[in-house]
Amino acid sequence: MKKTARIFLFIVIISLFAIVSYYLYDTFRERTDAEKLAEIIHLEDRRLINTALLSYLSDGSNIIRAKAALAIGRIGSPESGRILYDLLEDNSQDVAASAMFAIGLTNETEYASKILDVAFDLPAKVGMYAVEAAGRLADSSMTDVAHQLVQFFSHPAPEVRQAAMMALFRAGAKSKADDLINHLTSGFETDEDAKVTGMYVLARMGNIEAKEIYISMLSDADSFARAMALRGLGAVKDDEAINYLGIALNDSDRKVVAQAIFSLGSIKSAKAKNLLSKKMETETEENLLILLLNSMSRQENESSVLIAELLINENISDNIVAAAINYIASINREKAVSLIDSLGTVGGSFVKAACADAYGKVGTEKIISRLSRLFNDEDPLVRYRALSNLFKIDTSNFDFYIKTALNDKDEIVVVHAINEISEKQYFQYLPVMMTMISMEEEASIEIRRSILEAVETFLKENNDDSLAMKILINGAIDKEYIIRKEAARIYREVLKDKQDDIIRRPTTYISEGEIEDAIEKYTTNPYATILTSKGEIEMEIYFDSAPLTAMNFISLAQSDYYDGLGFHRIVPNFVVQGGDPRGDGWGGPDYFIRCEYSDEKYLRGTVGIATSGKDTGGSQFFFTLSPQPHLEGRYTVFGQVLSGMEVVDNIVPGDIIEDIIILENPF
């Protein structure tokens, strides 16, 4: 018996020795780069800046230090700005550049001017990111920062000058448009890319004084430059601008044509209307036909009603029918009711939803009963559109619609009702919202988010309202991090009460071990082949710059999540968006992924994650049809189309993703 006890004790001692030895070995051994990167990514996913993350800022690897700096900027904290600013002293330009990009994500506005004070003398690569960061941190009220940015127009490096131009746009510094015009017309700017960037900024600002600059770019070989010049001329609106827009309707590039149509749609002169009418007579491409119908509706252009009726009779697609009935309703008003009636009873859900909007354009009491019928439709999109128009037309029954909508089984209808309550400041519905937000299992994340947004407006009106405060407290302890984060923001911005420390950190869906395995697996970025009803699209997945987003996309693709889903949003010369299981832009998995902002550019064919706010990504993704610099640092870039952009160009709403095949080792 004693011998057995001694053997047992010996085994225990040996086991304890082995455990302690392993612990000491694991604690003091040199960690691999894969382990370090996995910990950095996991800490970022947890939104946690701790001693471990900070220690990586002094790592011997430039890559590790740069990734740690980016993670600190993405997480953000009261100390992030100071930590990142100090990295200007790093001996690697890559690390310093990463730190400057990251500081632009922190929202610490006091660093905008501070980094500009030193940026002119920094190496061009670092200075470019410093100037860009200042633009992200500043706003239109910070005139001193805008003045500093203009000084960088004389910088010897064109990439820094471009960054200064974009920074003015991001800072909303329209008051400095004249300085930019003078720079572009002075002859000093010789870099072609910088000229296009400057023109892009002026066009996005809607500046009409840059007319000659826009005209000078109309013959540029780059279709992006031509399209942005047309956007600028759309703001100018005079006869000469209209002439150039008319010429562009025959451009060889359909993205340019789309911009010309859109710009003409903002001009209500007889000349502009005539140009779109003539284009309507010859256009056959579905997306451009829809854009034409929508643009003529904005113009209040009566000349193509007969063509629109013909398109409805031909029933080429639900997309065209929907656009056509809305155009006809915007022109014919009550005369269009019988036509809307005929479509609203036999059309599919998408057409019925369009009919609800068309009834709204009629806008008379006689259509209330028709909208009420659609408000009882089985499809939530139809109910939502009907409700939106009933709110506008039948104000006497507002309470009935609100109460009915709040009991709807679909979140899109409930959310719209809550938004109306917020807009109208109906405090009497606070008890209902209190009940809803406290029932987390029954109220979706989107419903709870909308309740908090409504409570924010109530607290701005009366920050002593006890029930509104109770709802806010419920938000602060919600099981979903994005709700808790929103509650903390309201405490901070509305009540001037910092409660960030009491907000629990998020639950992560991907473990550190899984991240490490992926790092070792994807030594080169994987590829994806997206099989659609229009053909194949091949893309590179940017695991190196957006690992969590990439892992989420790969996991969904390999589980066949995307199979059979459609593309629901097409905006010519902008984006093609899909991956929504609902098909109406409101769907996704039952979780959110965090945003992974990077310095990747939104070029033609770049693939990004669609969100409804920071850190609310899921399954929806989009392809950009042309460069979109204004999206950079605001939406995660996680891929780039390598082949098949002609397929992307031809996608229309309702086209299907048949399968997504992941190629894990493309080389």
In the chain, the N- to C-terminal Cα span, in Å, equals: 64
| CA 118/CA 9 separation, integer angstroms | 66
Q: What percent of the chain has pLDDT over 90?
A: 88
Q: What is the rounded distance in angstroms from the CA atom of residue 67 to the CA atom of residue 274?
A: 55
Among the residue ranges 77-86, 248-257, 345-354, 372-381, the one predicted with the least confidence is 345-354
Return d(Cα 383, Cα 204) in angstroms, integer: 35
Using pLDDT thresholds of 50, 70 and 90, give the confidence band for residue 25: low
Q: What is the pLDDT of residue 77?
A: 84
* Lowest mean per-residue pLDDT among 139-153, 319-333, 489-503, 567-581: 489-503
- Give the pLDDT score at 3: 62
DSSP for 243-276, written as a single string? HHHHHHTT-SSHHHHHHHHHHHHT--SHHHHHHH
pLDDT of amino acid 185:
96
Structure tokens at 627: 């460069």
Mean per-residue pLDDT, 479-499:
89
**DSSP secondary structure, 607-640, as one string:** EEE--SSTT-B-S-EEEESS--GGGTTTS-EEEE
In this prediction, what percent of the chain has a pLDDT beyond 70? 96
Which of 92-96, 212-216, 439-443, 619-623 is the least confident region? Answer: 439-443
Q: Is the pLDDT of residue 28 over 60?
A: no
* pLDDT at 573 exceeding the cut of 60: yes
Buried-state track 193-223, b at ≥16 Cβ within 10 A, e below 16: ebbbbbbbbbbbbebbebbebbbbbbebeeb
pLDDT at 318 over 90: yes
- What pLDDT score does 23 carry? 54
Domains and CATH numbers, the chain: 212-303 (1.25.10.10), 394-507 (1.25.40), 512-663 (2.40.100.10)
Beta bridge partners of 659: 531
Q: Do the strands 606-609 and 621-624 form a parallel or antiparallel pair, or are they unpaired?
A: antiparallel
Average pLDDT over every residue of 194-199: 98
